[in-house]
């Protein structure tokens, strides 16, 4: 599949049936797998043979879909997780533990921010948050001797900043650590962070990859490029024997191509168990089959709506990186030449009350805590996700009280604009 273009990989990647086998990926709805001898089973437990023994660790349906996502991203190995949150947690915890430190962009998904700043901090991992717009000097100054990774989002949810992936990759590599990119909003159709130097990619597949609001899920992909053994002192978990697996040293046995995902599966999935159900993996694959067709439409609708809003005098400001003049337009042209995504944010003139009134009047666009769905939806963070904050606190995290986040779905753009028009009283 590696010679094919991304559209072909979306449709046919990850699974090639043999003669007489199902054309669509089979849902292997089984918790366990049968073996003839205990020796056969023992080899699997020792990671000496490839195969399935318990669906908490691996399942064939999940592996077909993970293989497709690995092909889409241009990586060497991938695994599915039960959610995007689990993917972010595993990606960091696989290489950082108590006493370690991670540098992260400050404009990241709120759930990820809380995971890092509160929950993982309680586990003894420290995070330094840097602006995605920081200079190279500011970025380099954030590193410490115990730094184990750098983290950022290609297009941040909900800030819609575009990350300068090359700048972050260079700083990470200069300090001997990998760059982990959450590529949820861009999807591999829009941007493949490995081509710009990222080492690990994570996804909330709940968003555009599934694309239909049907299944919560996550994914981690390894580029296979980071040389763990060259930085063995920083990554003992990958570069020294794992006693819980008969002394296997992941980076030696599985190489740069397979060590990260094998360790995350064998240790983290074994112990935390955040596996995606095979049924959800099947739904995810249905979504991936049309990812390229849908993303194109999401971007077209996003741009049409952003242009309409920009031209309307009842709208104070619009943030959408495909708009010429947007603060991130140049970075978007470089990293996302096919378009960014369908999410647009804007401020309604008249403050909190005006934003509330406007949203109440929408008919086609629904109020939801969700984005990146086939159906258009919107959210007023001041009244929902950030409800506990007063206006000053909102501004401190870059959110005005009149901000509306609108996720443009796959409907007709004229119908979306007509709905916005009537809600604005025109």
Chain residues binding ligand PLP by CB under 6 A are 83-85, 88, 109, 111-112, 153, 157, 182, 184-185, 204, 206-207, 216, 218
Instruction: Find the shortest distance in angstroms from Cβ 165 to ligand PLP.
Output: 15
* Least distance from ligand PLP to the Cβ atom of residue 211, Å: 13
Write out the two tokens for 17.
């049936």
Q: Minimum CB separation from ligand PLP for residue 23, in Å?
A: 29
Smallest distance from the beta carbon of 183 to ligand PLP, in angstroms? 9
CB-based closest residue to ligand PLP: 84
Alpha carbons within 13 A on the beta-carbon side of 413: 15
User: Which residue lies nearer to ligand PLP by CB, 88 or 401?
Assistant: 88
126: phi then psi, degrees, rounded to nearest 5: -95, 140
Which of residues 130 and 180 has its CB atom nearest to ligand PLP in the complex? 180
| 156 or 424: CB nearest ligand PLP | 156
What does DSSP say about strands 366-367 and 403-407: parallel, antiparallel, or unpaired?
unpaired
19 or 369, CB closer to ligand PLP?
369
Is-contact 246 325, C-beta < 8 A?
A: no
The half-sphere exposure of 332 on its side-chain side, counting CA atoms within 13 A, is: 23
User: Assign residue 176 a region: left if phi > 0, alpha if psi is -120 to 50, beta otherwise?
Assistant: left
Structural tokens at position 397: 């995290």
Nearer to ligand PLP, 240 or 385 (CB): 385
Q: How far is the CB of 80 from ligand PLP (least distance, A)?
A: 11
Burial of 24 (0-12, 13-18, 19+ CB in 10 A): exposed
Residue among 55 and 88 whose Cβ is closer to ligand PLP: 88
- Mode of pairing for the β-strands spanning 200-204 and 179-182: parallel
Nearer to ligand PLP, 259 or 404 (CB): 404
Of 379 and 423, which has the nearer Cβ to ligand PLP?
379
Backbone angles phi, psi at 142, to 5 degrees: -80, -15
CB 132, CB 107: distance < 8 Å:
yes
CB of 86 to ligand PLP, least distance (A): 7
d(CA 243, CA 300): 52
> Hey, is 57 helix, strand or coil?
coil
Short-list 175, 177, 179, 176, CA closest to 195: 179
Taking the complex as a whole, how short is the minimal distance between the CB of residue 254 and ligand PLP, in angstroms? 27
Minimal distance in Å, beta carbon 366 to ligand PLP? 18
How far does Cα 336 stand from its chain's mean position? 15
CA distances from 409 to 332, 341, 374, 402 (A): 20, 10, 4, 22
């Amino acid at each position: 599949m590696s010679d094919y273009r991304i559209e072909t990989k979306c449709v046919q990647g990850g699974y090639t049936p043999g003669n007489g086998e199902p054309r669509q990926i089979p849902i292997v709805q089984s918790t366990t797998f049968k073996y003839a001898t205990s020796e056969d089973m023992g080899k699997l437990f020792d990671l000496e043979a490839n195969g399935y023994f318990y669906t908490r660790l691996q399942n064939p349906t999940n592996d077909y879909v993970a293989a497709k996502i690995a092909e889409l991203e241009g990586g060497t190995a991938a695994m599915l997780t039960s959610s995007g949150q689990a993917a972010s947690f595993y990606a960091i915890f696989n290489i950082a533990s108590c006493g370690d430190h991670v540098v992260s962009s400050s404009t990241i998904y709120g759930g990820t921010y809380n995971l890092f700043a509160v929950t993982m901090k309680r586990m003894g991992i420290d995070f330094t948050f840097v602006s995605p717009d920081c200079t190279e000097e500011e970025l380099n100054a954030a590193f410490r001797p115990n730094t184990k990774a750098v983290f950022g989002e290609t297009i941040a949810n909900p800030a819609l900043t575009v990350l300068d992936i090359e700048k972050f990759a260079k700083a990470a590599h200069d300090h001997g650590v990998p760059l982990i990119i959450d590529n949820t909003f861009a999807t591999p159709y829009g941007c493949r962070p490995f081509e710009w130097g990222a080492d690990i990619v994570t996804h909330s597949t709940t968003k555009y990859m599934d694309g239909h609001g049907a299944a919560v899920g996550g994914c981690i992909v390894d580029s296979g490029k980071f040389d763990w053994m060259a930085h063995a002192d920083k990554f003992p978990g990958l570069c020294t024997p794992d006693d819980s697996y008969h002394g296997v040293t992941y980076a030696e046995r599985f190489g740069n191509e397979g060590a990260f995902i094998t360790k995350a599966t064998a240790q983290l999935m074994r112990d935390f168990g955040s596996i995606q159900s095979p049924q959800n993996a099947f739904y995810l694959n249905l979504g991936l089959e049309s990812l390229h067709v849908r993303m194109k439409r999401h971007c077209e609708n996003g741009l049409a709506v952003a242009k309409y809003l920009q031209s309307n005098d009842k709208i104070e400001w619009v943030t959408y990186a495909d708009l010429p003049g947007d603060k991130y337009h140049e970075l978007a042209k470089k990293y996302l030449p096919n378009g960014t995504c369908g999410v647009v944010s804007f401020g309604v003139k008249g403050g909190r009350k005006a934003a509330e009134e406007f949203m109440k009047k929408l008919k086609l666009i629904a109020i939801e805590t969700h984005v990146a769905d086939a159906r258009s939806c919107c959210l007023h963070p001041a009244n929902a996700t950030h409800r506990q904050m007063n206006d000053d606190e909102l501004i401190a995290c870059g959110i005005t009280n009149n901000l509306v986040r609108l996720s443009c779905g796959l409907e007709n753009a004229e119908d979306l604009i007509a709905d916005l028009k009537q809600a604005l009283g025109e």
